[in-house]
Amino acid sequence: MRPNTVKTVMKMNRTRFTLCVFGAFLLSATPAEAQLDEAQDHFAAAEFEAAVRAYERAEEGELTRDELVGLLRGRALAQAALGRDSEAERDMRALLSIEPGAELGLEAPPSLQRRFDALRADSGGALSVESSALPTSGGWRIRVNIEDDPGRLERQTIVYVREGGEFVPHEARRGRVRLSDLEGQDLEYYVEVFGPGEVVLAREGARSDPLVIDAPQSDVASPIPPIEEEEDRTLLWVGIGAGAAAVVIAVIIAVAVSGSSSTQPSIPMEVP
């Protein structure tokens, strides 16, 4: 084989190898990862509007928690570069709610960094969830309250309830879940709050360590204890004494009334 032919074959093999590696990367990368990479490339090229759109497309896919943190951070920078202060602040607040120690990085201008530090100082803390359960006539009612979600990241809240040995998911609608088939049974459950990209933002309890609430005990009326014979005698004499006192008072009143009427002067009569 001629040297030129050998060189041509080697170049073709290298090209094929590069294409195979690139193809394998594309196959292994998720759509959300590809959109995040595209958004970062647009931001580096100062194409901020295109970067925002790519971040929004990435938000519709499946993300890890770290990827969601990077999305919120990058989109806040792009929105700020476009002069959209309210949108940038919303993303920065959301970022701090899931990662209180997050940083904007060197790409942030000093004015935006100062605003971010002020938002951190004013932050109420990490996004969290609390629940309470009350027994009802037909089972249980669970209330779910999500706290410190200024960026409105919550997309869905699921309450997993143990039913028949397995945890069954129930979506909390308007923060409520009603269970009608667990009357008189103990309640075991845990809660997960999902955000963009199906990321678990917060949870209360866990499958391995659920919240447990004992079923209320039915109230049984205790029998009224019988009155002892001595108590019967006491009540009898008390009743007799009260009756005698009432009679005496009535007699005194009657005497007083008749006496007062007899002492009054009579009208004089003329004798013809």
How far apart, in whole angstroms, are the C-alpha atoms of residue 35 and residue 56? Answer: 9
Q: What is the CATH number of the domain that holds 112?
A: 1.25.40
Q: CA 93 → CA 70, 166, 185, 222, distances in Å? A: 14, 37, 41, 57
Is residue 271 in some structural domain? no
Please tell me whether residues 134 and 182 are part of one structural domain: yes
Please tell me whether residues 182 and 85 are part of one structural domain: no
Please tell me whether residues 166 and 118 are part of one structural domain: no
Domain end position, chosen among 159, 194, 213:
213
Please tell me whether residues 172 and 140 are part of one structural domain: yes
pLDDT at position 134: 93
Please tell me whether residues 82 and 150 are part of one structural domain: no
Q: How confident is the model at residue 115 (pLDDT cuts 50, 70, 90)?
A: very high
Q: How confident is the model at residue 181 (pLDDT cuts 50, 70, 90)?
A: confident
Share of the chain above pLDDT 70, in %: 69
Q: Where are the beta strands (DSSP E) in the chain?
A: 128-135, 140-147, 156-163, 166-171, 176-179, 187-194, 200-204, 211-213
Please tell me whether residues 50 and 105 are part of one structural domain: yes
Q: What is the CATH number of the domain that holds 171?
A: 2.60.40
103 is written with which tokens?
Answer: 């940083």
Is residue 40 in some structural domain? yes
Is residue 148 in some structural domain? yes
Is residue 186 in some structural domain? yes
Q: Contact 92/100 with Cβ under 8 angstroms?
A: no
Lowest mean pLDDT among 2-6, 121-125, 192-196: 2-6
Domain end position, chosen among 193, 213, 233:
213
pLDDT at position 205: 97
pLDDT at position 141: 95
Please tell me whether residues 114 and 141 are part of one structural domain: no
Please tell me whether residues 88 and 102 are part of one structural domain: yes
pLDDT at position 24: 43
Strand partners, 146: 129
Which residue matches tokens 């009155």? Answer: 227
Please tell me whether residues 92 and 8 are part of one structural domain: yes
Is residue 257 in some structural domain? no
Is residue 263 in some structural domain? no
Q: Contact 134/79 with Cβ under 8 angstroms?
A: no
Q: How confident is the model at residue 31 (pLDDT cuts 50, 70, 90)?
A: confident
Residues 6+ away with beta carbon under 8 Å from 127: 97, 98, 146, 147, 148, 149, 153, 154, 193, 201, 202
Please tell me whether residues 107 and 154 are part of one structural domain: no
> Does this model's pTM top 0.75?
no
Domain count, the chain: 2
Domain end position, chosen among 122, 140, 165:
122
Is residue 162 in some structural domain? yes
Q: Contact 95/102 with Cβ under 8 angstroms?
A: yes
Q: Domain range spanning residue 34? A: 3-122
Is residue 238 in some structural domain? no
pLDDT at position 269: 42
Q: How confident is the model at residue 90 (pLDDT cuts 50, 70, 90)?
A: very high
User: For 182-193, what is the mean pLDDT?
Assistant: 92
pLDDT score of 3 more than 90: no
Please tell me whether residues 93 and 179 are part of one structural domain: no
Please tell me whether residues 10 and 111 are part of one structural domain: yes
Residue 47: phi, psi to the nearest 5? Answer: -95, 75
Q: Contact 184/120 with Cβ under 8 angstroms?
A: no
